[in-house]
Amino acid sequence: MLDFNNFKENLEVLGEDIFSKKFLLAVSGGADSMVLSHLFRFFDSAQNDKGLEFQVAHVNYHFRGEDSNLDQKIVEDFCKKNDIKFHLKDVSEEEKTQMKSLQNWARELRYDFFFKILEQENLDYIVTAHHLNDELETFFINLSRGSGIKGLSGIPKNENSILRPLLKFTKAEIYAFAEENHIDFREDKSNEKNDYLRNKIRNQLTPKIVEIFPNFLEQFGESLSYLSSVNDFYQNEIEKTFQEILMEENEEGFTLNKEILFRKPKVLIIEIIRKLGFTGIEIEKIMNAENGKFFRSSTYEISIKKKEIICKKR
């Protein structure tokens, strides 16, 4: 259940002395981000002795005509009403000509915008409204791509100055909170189209799973929390192994101790080679390669020696 106390508890575990920090909320105008805005507003420093100081950022891509402008208006009106500093990225037609993959381009553009504001305004964190349903969609997308444990352990709650305090709450809980607290928001009709894999999972797969297993999302959240803890331990072991086998490092690359690496459990060998940009069959070939073989990834060129693996940046 999403309420003010649960939200506060989830926020507090994301960072030390979190109420002393300054935040930039990424707000689209949808239910998730408008609920996030109201939660922060409740704990605003103007309302509480120990509150939250925050600003709001919105990106208008103009993909949906007047609907895009109405999204902007609901966010801007909320900020004006509550005396919150509002930042707008008004995407031009010229900027759209640089677009190749729409989703990747849009994501890069908005995060570039957010991080610039973070620096200009001397803020500490970007805050997004990702929730448990987003976690499930990301899990299935990564599963379909053959991801390892890192890709299956969920969206990071606190990474690279980005906080996601709603990850434990479902979409239904967010909508219920919005209704109970009379929060206005906009519906993005494009989310109803199944043009993208994420939308297909959201609109077709998730409802079927919940129909069969009514408590699936809650149980999934518990499993994901466990996987996340396992992944933290796992990534620490990978880093310890990498430091153990690192023989030499310079601007051009580094040299790894092949003998020590290949005595490690296979799963650690795979993860170390994966760090070099190799996947699947390529990793197997490297593990079985004879002395003198060369391999190239998008980021490294490696040379297999008798006792070493020489890795040069590309």
Residues 148 and 276 in one domain: no
Residues 143 and 273 in one domain: no
Q: How far apart are CA 119 and CA 111, in angstroms?
A: 12
Q: How far apart are CA 89 and CA 285, in angstroms?
A: 47
- In terms of Cα–Cα distance, which of 209, 200, 134 is closest to 167? 134
Structure tokens at 300: 């490294």
Does the pLDDT value for residue 22 go beyond 90? yes
The domain containing residue 134 runs over which residues?
Answer: 4-229
Backbone angles phi, psi at 19, to 5 degrees: -75, -5
Percent with pLDDT over 70 in the chain:
98
- Dihedral angle of Cα 89, 94, 95, 96, to the nearest 10 degrees: 110
- Of 196, 229, 262, the position where a domain reaches its end is 229
Per DSSP, the chain holds a count of helices (H) and strands (E) of: 14, 11
In a domain, 237, yes or no: no
CATH of the domain at 143: 3.40.50.620
Q: 3-class SS at 124?
A: coil
Q: 3-class SS at 127?
A: strand
User: In the structure, what pLDDT confidence band is assigned to residue 15 with cuts at 50, 70 and 90?
Assistant: confident
Residues 21 and 130 in one domain: yes
Q: What angle do CA 11, 138, 285 make, to 5 degrees?
A: 120
Residues 180 and 87 in one domain: yes
- In terms of Cα–Cα distance, which of 77, 58, 60, 73 is closest to 117? 58
Q: 3-class SS at 147?
A: coil
In a domain, 145, yes or no: yes
In a domain, 281, yes or no: yes
Residue-wise pLDDT for 112-127, tens only, equals 999 999 999 999 999 9
Residues 151 and 300 in one domain: no
Q: How far apart are CA 134 and CA 149, in angstroms?
A: 18
Q: 3-class SS at 189?
A: helix
Q: How far apart are CA 226 and CA 125, in angstroms?
A: 25
In a domain, 136, yes or no: yes
Residues 99 and 130 in one domain: yes
Q: 3-class SS at 279?
A: coil
Average pLDDT over residues 179-205: 93
- Of 229, 261, 287, the position where a domain reaches its end is 229
Residues 216 and 102 in one domain: yes
Structure tokens at 73: 């208006």
- In terms of Cα–Cα distance, which of 176, 186, 183, 163 is closest to 3? 176
Residue-wise pLDDT for 241-297, tens only, equals 999 999 999 999 999 999 999 999 999 999 999 999 998 899 999 999 999 999 999
Least confident of 42-56, 144-158, 168-182, 228-242: 42-56
- Of 229, 264, 280, the position where a domain reaches its end is 229
> How many domains in the chain?
2
In a domain, 70, yes or no: yes
Average pLDDT over residues 206-228: 96
| Contact present, 210 and 170 (Cβ < 8 Å) | no
Residues 53 and 202 in one domain: yes
The helix (H) or strand (E) run that includes residue 227 is helix 216-245
